[in-house]
A and B are shown apart, each in its own frame.
Chain A
Amino acid sequence: MTGSVGAPAERREGREKVGGTARYAAEFHSPGRAQAWPVPSTVARGRVTGVDTAAALEMPGVLTVLTHENAPRLAEPDDPTLVLLQDARVPHRGWFVALVVAETLEAARAGAAAVRVAYDAEEHDVTLTASHPGVYVPEDANGGHPALREQGDPDGAFGSSAARVDVAYRVPPLHNHPMEPHTSTARWEDGRLILHTSSQGTGAVRAALAGLFGLPEERIVVTAEHVGGGFGSKGTPRPDVVLAAMAAHETGRPVTVALPRRCLPAVVGHRAPTLHRLRLGADTDGRLASLVHEVTTHTSRIKEFVEQAAVPARVMYAAPNSRTVHRVAALDVPSPSWMRAPGEAPGMYALESAMDELATELGMDPVELRIRNEPGVEPDSGRPFSSRHLVECLREGARRFGWAGRDPRPGVRREGPLLLGTGVSAATYPVMVGPSTATARALPDGSFLVRINATDIGTGARTVLAQVGADALGVPLERVLIEVGSTELPSAPLAGGSSGTASWGWAVHEACAGLAGRLAGHAGPLPAQGLEVRADTTGAADSESEFARHAFGAHFAEVAVDTVTGEVRVGRLLGVYAAGRILNARTARSQFVGGMTMGLGMALTEGSTMDAAFGDFTESDLASYHVPVHADVAGIEAHWLDEEDSRLNPMGSKGIGEIGIVGTAAAIGNAVHHATGVRLRELPLTPDRVLTGLLDRWT
């Protein structure tokens, strides 16, 4: 053991990224490379009755215009959002109805503007309400969770509870908006397809392309060398992948499709809006007798995706009677999908806000209320936890934050025009892990080469996997080379569900440990090609665990609410996490802080508005969709406990990419209530909402 794991190793590609030499998917310049620009539908429902491409085709530099009438026929994919230019149907506004391919990006854009599309438009319905007549209870929510779970008699127990909270919350649609838009550069060579893309997992991209184009996977190479963020929206292949491959096929040229920022809200998934109803019933000591979390959300007409926002309520608190249920309405909206902590982020906002309301109702400290409801086993499944240190996170967070002695009264701390308050929330995120392969090779020069089709989406995966490998080999970190981000490498799952490091690291550990064993028994110099060991964790990583495995955390926030404007500023945000062994202190802190910052955006600034008349999201650029800027993030701290858990993987790690966003919005919302005495139940807490609430209370 050389102690690489846990060290704050600098990310290996950091210099390339800062210096601008790291190549992203749009930067694979091969001779004759063409550019493309999509044409989005301007109706929310209907059919294309005609596409007039004549003006576009006459424009200088335009090579071709693909439409549903001339695009290559694709096999039916598993993912209906990839059935591009195959028929005249328009399932939502912004759906691509044509693609202009041209010599330059400017020519492609101008060509796209010149394409005339005629529609047979139908009435559309894009407005989600809890009482929408189309609402139904699906079989499963995202992640394969049963849509409905019930224990005991939640309604009866609620009715007879001494303390009750019955409240509704709303989380708006949210967009992932990674810095790098979804981009693919494709070229065909001798019947082989080579695609450079921006994806969280190239294996899934290759599998989708193989199906769509009827090609064996061996004839497709997909790389994602560097990825400028994804936050879930690059977890599945997106239209750029299919359009680039089609356009390259039709033109015989390499083609880049970099989706314009303004197109992203409609075609790369979004966090669906969620309407929550929470009913908590407790005895006078604060022990929950009943927990009911009912979620209503939307999906598109072509794909059922149900944000699993009631699922964390199955994990968090001991309540003998409970109901967690998801309802969904299929509307004429873009297809929702994964966005950082799908389910947990909106679900824990609602649950942890309701817990705060219950604490207020009981006159109990909200930290204490959570501790009092700590379960012995996972409430819904009855399984023991592999490890659960939520209480320790709450206590350590309270200590670091200075929670003790907090005056619980809302709306009493004034500094001039500012009202000050503090809030707390718990956080949880499940441990996921999947089978992976990897190879490790000892080279005669004393270095070691680890190869695995992991994807580094900005998390530092390269660096962390090298650390895992170095320790398993018992060599210094700098002697371990690593290759990731290509389907030419040993297959591995995607970077998603906070499972990447666990899944890949397991295989890297096995390969490197196996190689260390081989080397121990090896005498004499290594052969020129070195010695290689291959590992495959199938059967181990995907075996069913008898334990409930989750990471936990606690968030504390301090806010100042300006009574003049309704502006909320977060002076301090502090998170404490119990997420197994932390493999790289530097990159882990970035993940936690990044998640918390995204949670701050969810709380205060980020919101997307469905335009009922036109059927699209109004905020379509980064000037109007407000992700937090530096000035919004004052003091932010992430800490973790040294949690040991031998029931996870050889590294003892839990995922850390998503838990930072979970609970942050509730902690901030609870602090706003503590500051103002106003309980706002719809995110984001923008000045218009906060000021209106203040005026109702204070005048």
Chain B
Amino acid sequence: MKEFAYVRAGSVEEATSAYASRTGARYLGGGTNLVDLMKLGVEAPAALIDVTRLPLDSVEELPGGALRIGAMVRNSDLAAHPLVRHRYPALSQAVLAGASGQLRNAATTGGNLLQRTRCPYFQDLSKPCNKREPGSGCGARDGVHRDHAVLGHSAHCIATHPSDMAVALTALDGRVELVGPEGARSVAAADFHRLPGDRPEQDTEIRPGELVTGVVLPAATAGLSSAYRKARDRASYAFALASVAVVLRLEDGVIGHAGLAFGALAHRPWRARRAEEALLGAAPTRAAFEHAVDLELAAAQPLRDNAYKVPLARNLAVDVLSRLTDAALTGRAS
């Protein structure tokens, strides 16, 4: 069998130096995706640096009201955390919309961000895939691609990012904290994942050896509401056909803040900047929502068998925007 080294890191420094000293190393979180990919032969790390013992397993409020989520916080703990549930319901809802109870108990926040596409061609070594094997081609483009991207795809890759959680983090203006050989830095969640372009093998902006240590959410100011909604083939344990995270605040009867991100439409959580711009300052009407979302989705380039994703995403976004504003307006009236 293919042998690999296993190192259990006790600190972030230990983890990054263990990674640096071994070529072909991978960080191991809950293993819910990486181990599967190893069994399939898609990943063949020379070393696994187990980071699940790192002291990054808490959710803490920072001075000023921001929230830091340690990279090792398990998905189920994240979804159940009172501060997350009360201040960032979109995040809690998104996490609970993903996977199954057993998987959420094992999966970590950092690992969730770094999970890989479930494109069937990526997972099948006998078929071409530019993400798995650059230059080999894309089996999905002319193949079975009902679940694939409608936004931001390239001739090289039409895969989608599978995470629900990352979509909420994107809409919530989260930042991903990283520690690597060149020190610590943070990247906006919206910029953390990449579009495929001509380098689909590179899922994220992470640099070699960098470890995700946490995610920081900005303070949830008064009146900020959020929600996540996902459409899928079965009621649980299915990846999104399309999903949306909406973060909203009304100010004086108009939209004072809008964060909108789509899942399962692109190679990364799709931050809908154009829609957000159109919403800002607008009265919260269904017509305004539809107009804004249509502006965003005008860029969609559906493939032969996934055109349904465009109206689905539109419906989801308009529905969640409507429900959030209805709740906010009702709440104000009461």
Binding site for B on A (CB under 8 A): 40, 42, 59-61, 104, 106-107, 109-110, 113, 417, 563-567, 569, 604-605, 609, 611-614, 618-620, 623-624, 626, 628-632, 686-689, 691-692, 695
Contact with A along B1-32 (1 / 0, CB 8 A): 11000000000000000000000000000000
Taking a contact as CB atoms under 8 Å apart, the answer to whether A614 and B315 are in contact is no
How many chain B residues sit at the interface, stated as a range, is 20 to 34
CB interface residues, B 139-156, toward A, < 8 Å: 139, 142-144, 146
Main secondary structure of the interface of A (DSSP, over half): loop
For B315, what are the chain A residues with a Cβ–Cβ distance below 8 Å? 563-565, 691
For A110, what are the chain B residues with a Cβ–Cβ distance below 8 Å? 1-2
Taking a contact as CB atoms under 8 Å apart, the answer to whether B235 and A620 are in contact is no
The CA-CA distance from A613 to B236 in the complex, in Å, is: 31
Contact with A along B291-334 (1 / 0, CB 8 A): 00000000000000010110110011001000000000000000
Contact of A569 among B118, B235, B239 (CB under 8 A): B235
Taking a contact as CB atoms under 8 Å apart, the answer to whether A632 and B235 are in contact is yes
Total residue contacts A-B, CB cutoff 8 A: 92
B321 to A: closest C-beta gap in Å: 12
For B234, what are the chain A residues with a Cβ–Cβ distance below 8 Å? 604-605, 626, 628-629, 631-632
Contact of A624 among B120, B142, B232, B312 (CB under 8 A): B120
Taking a contact as CB atoms under 8 Å apart, the answer to whether A619 and B120 are in contact is yes
B120 to A: closest C-beta gap in Å: 5
Binding site for A on B (CB under 8 A): 1-2, 39, 41, 100, 118, 120, 124-127, 139, 142-144, 146, 231-239, 241, 306, 308-309, 311-312, 315-316, 319
Taking a contact as CB atoms under 8 Å apart, the answer to whether B235 and A611 are in contact is no
For A695, what are the chain B residues with a Cβ–Cβ distance below 8 Å? 311
For A620, what are the chain B residues with a Cβ–Cβ distance below 8 Å? 120, 124
Taking a contact as CB atoms under 8 Å apart, the answer to whether A107 and B1 are in contact is yes
A632 to B: closest C-beta gap in Å: 5
Taking a contact as CB atoms under 8 Å apart, the answer to whether B143 and A687 are in contact is no
CB-based nearest A residue for B99: A623
For A688, what are the chain B residues with a Cβ–Cβ distance below 8 Å? 146, 241, 306, 308-309, 312
For B100, what are the chain A residues with a Cβ–Cβ distance below 8 Å? 629
List 28 A–B pairs whose Cβ atoms lie within 8 Å, in order of A's numbering: A42-B126, A59-B1, A61-B1, A109-B1, A417-B319, A563-B315, A565-B316, A566-B308, A604-B234, A609-B146, A613-B139, A618-B143, A623-B118, A623-B237, A626-B233, A628-B234, A629-B100, A629-B235, A631-B234, A631-B235, A632-B236, A687-B308, A688-B146, A688-B308, A688-B309, A689-B308, A691-B308, A691-B311
For A565, what are the chain B residues with a Cβ–Cβ distance below 8 Å? 231, 312, 315-316
A621 to B: closest C-beta gap in Å: 8
The CA-CA distance from A514 to B12 in the complex, in Å, is: 76
The CA-CA distance from A113 to B139 in the complex, in Å, is: 20
For B124, what are the chain A residues with a Cβ–Cβ distance below 8 Å? 620
Which are the 8 A-B pairs with shortest beta-carbon distances? A631-B235, A565-B231, A106-B1, A688-B308, A631-B236, A42-B126, A110-B1, A618-B144
The CA-CA distance from A564 to B309 in the complex, in Å, is: 12
Contact of B238 among A626, A689, A692 (CB under 8 A): A626
B81 to A: closest C-beta gap in Å: 23
Taking a contact as CB atoms under 8 Å apart, the answer to whether A104 and B1 are in contact is yes
Taking a contact as CB atoms under 8 Å apart, the answer to whether B120 and A564 are in contact is no
B98 to A: closest C-beta gap in Å: 12
Contact of B232 among A60, A417, A612, A687 (CB under 8 A): A687
